[in-house]
């Protein structure tokens, strides 16, 4: 049985958490005093929000952490019934060898407004025996009355050095070789998301024991920087059909989604040798076309329209 690396290398204690030193120091103070308020963990994906909640419970409760910790995902159970039944039933029961239990509500920004209103009341009613840790990508989607009842922790995106340390730790433990360009490729693709970096590494290690840049981009079905630059160079040189044909070939060969292409282009914009005003217009166009695709626009047509706009931009 192949073990999933995202769970295998998840930190077991707060001292093992990478790149969130300020937040970890505050959480350690909670463990030391054995006093935890309601918390709100906010930040992008794969930067340690769930890990910190689990590590806090393990440090706080020791061997009894599973009996005193409930994890639910609001994106799966986002209605009011999950608050009235599953969460409330767990909050009612007495903690085991501890002053209070912890309920970790992942992706809490996916809860409906009615569910959040019910959660607010539950947080008040059972605060003597239960603490809530809410995790979300966008704290603005969490009701203000709930935010005012919590200690807010804003997780920062991990630096390249943090990602490098984590990747090399896995490479040494698993015994595979990672070339310098392969290391940079994982860092570039993951964009600070350790979960994504781990999954890409596991997929690449199955293919070969020496992981290079080519292996990383192949298993992740991502555009290489030089491929993106070639497409953008053609578009900005007025060669629309050439840019379109190159992109269509890559989309068919790799099965890329429109949003994947938008993100790949965004990563390369700042390295283009074009005037600053053109870069500003470029970023504005990327935001516009990302919005169109997320709202239901056909990805192929929208990406071609983006390339057409870039070609027109080069002429002006």
> Mind listing the pLDDT tens digit for each residue in 179-199?
998 888 888 888 888 888 899
Question: What totals of helices (H) and strands (E) does the chain contain, helices first?
Answer: 16, 7
**Separation of CA 49 from chain center:** 10
Distance CA 115, CA 95 (A): 24
User: What 3-state DSSP class applies to 39?
Assistant: strand
User: What 3-state DSSP class applies to 242?
Assistant: helix
User: What 3-state DSSP class applies to 72?
Assistant: strand
| Interior angle at CA 297, CA 186 and CA 304, nearest 5 | 70
Distance CA 172, CA 170 (A): 5
- Strands 177-178, 210-211: pairing is parallel
Count CB neighbours of 84 within 10 A. 14
Rounded to a whole number, what is the distance in angstroms from the first to the last CA of the chain? 59
Q: Phi/psi class of residue 138: alpha, beta or left (left: φ > 0; alpha: ψ in -120 to 50)? A: beta
Taking 3-state DSSP, the helix, strand and coil percentages for the chain, each rounded to the nearest 5, stand at: 60, 10, 30
- Global pTM? 0.82
> Is the Cβ–Cβ distance between 153 and 39 less than 8 Å?
yes
Distance CA 89, CA 85 (A): 6
> Is the Cβ–Cβ distance between 139 and 152 less than 8 Å?
yes
Using alpha carbons, select from 11, 279, 20 the residue that is nearest to residue 170.
11
Helix (H) or strand (E) holding 118: helix 113-125
Output the CA–CA distances (angstroms, integers) from residue 292 to 6, 216, 314, in the order listed. 33, 29, 22
Residues near 85 by beta carbon (within 8 Å), at least 6 away in sequence:
none
Using alpha carbons, select from 159, 215, 167 the residue that is nearest to residue 195.
167
**pLDDT truncated to tens, each residue of the chain (316 aa)?**
457 888 888 888 999 888 889 999 999 999 999 889 999 999 988 888 999 999 999 999 988 898 899 888 765 665 566 667 777 888 888 888 888 999 998 888 888 888 888 888 888 888 888 999 999 988 888 889 899 989 999 998 888 888 888 888 888 888 888 899 888 888 888 888 888 889 988 888 888 888 888 888 888 878 888 888 888 888 888 888 898 888 888 777 777 788 888 888 888 888 888 888 888 888 999 999 999 999 988 888 898 899 898 888 776 6
Distance CA 312, CA 262 (A): 18
Distance CA 86, CA 70 (A): 10
Using alpha carbons, select from 129, 11, 127 the residue that is nearest to residue 68.
129
Catalogue all structural domains in the chain, each as residue range(s) with its CATH number: 5-154 (3.40.50.300), 160-219 (1.10.8.60), 225-315 (1.20.272.10)
Distance CA 62, CA 64 (A): 5
> Mind listing the pLDDT tens digit for each residue in 9-25?
888 899 988 888 999 99
């Amino acid at each position: 049985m192949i073990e999933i690396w995202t769970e295998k290398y998840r930190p077991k204690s707060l001292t093992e958490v990478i790149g969130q030193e300020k937040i970890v120091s505050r959480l350690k103070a909670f463990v030391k005093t054995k006093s935890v308020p309601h918390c709100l963990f906010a930040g992008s994906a794969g930067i340690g929000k769930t890990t910190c909640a689990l590590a806090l419970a393990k440090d706080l409760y020791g061997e009894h952490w599973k009996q005193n910790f409930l994890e639910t995902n609001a994106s799966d159970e986002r209605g009011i019934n999950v608050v009235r039944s599953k969460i409330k039933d767990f909050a009612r029961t007495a903690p085991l060898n501890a002053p209070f239990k912890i309920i970790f509500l992942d992706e809490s920004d996916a809860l409906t407004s009615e569910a959040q209103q019910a959660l607010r009341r539950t947080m008040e009613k059972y605060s003597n025996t239960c603490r809530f840790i809410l995790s979300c990508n966008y704290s603005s989607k969490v009701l203000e009355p709930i935010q005012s009842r919590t200690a807010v922790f804003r997780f920062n995106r991990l630096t390249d050095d943090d990602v490098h340390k984590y990747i090399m730790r896995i490479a040494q433990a698993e015994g595979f070789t990672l070339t310098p360009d392969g290391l940079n490729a994982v860092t570039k693709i993951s964009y600070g998301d350790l979960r994504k970096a781990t999954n890409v590494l596991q997929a690449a290690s199955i293919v070969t024991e020496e992981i290079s840049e080519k292996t990383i981009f192949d298993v992740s079905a991502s555009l290489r920087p030089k491929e993106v630059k070639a497409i953008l160079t053609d578009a900005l040189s007025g060669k629309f059909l050439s840019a379109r044909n190159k992109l269509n070939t890559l989309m068919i060969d790799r099965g890329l989604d429109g949003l994947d292409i938008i993100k790949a282009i965004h990563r390369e914009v700042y390295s283009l040798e074009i005037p600053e005003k053109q870069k500003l217009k470029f970023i504005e166009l990327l935001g516009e076309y990302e919005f169109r695709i997320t709202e239901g626009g056909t990805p192929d047509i929208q990406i071609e329209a983006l390339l057409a706009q870039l070609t027109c931009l080069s002429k002006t």
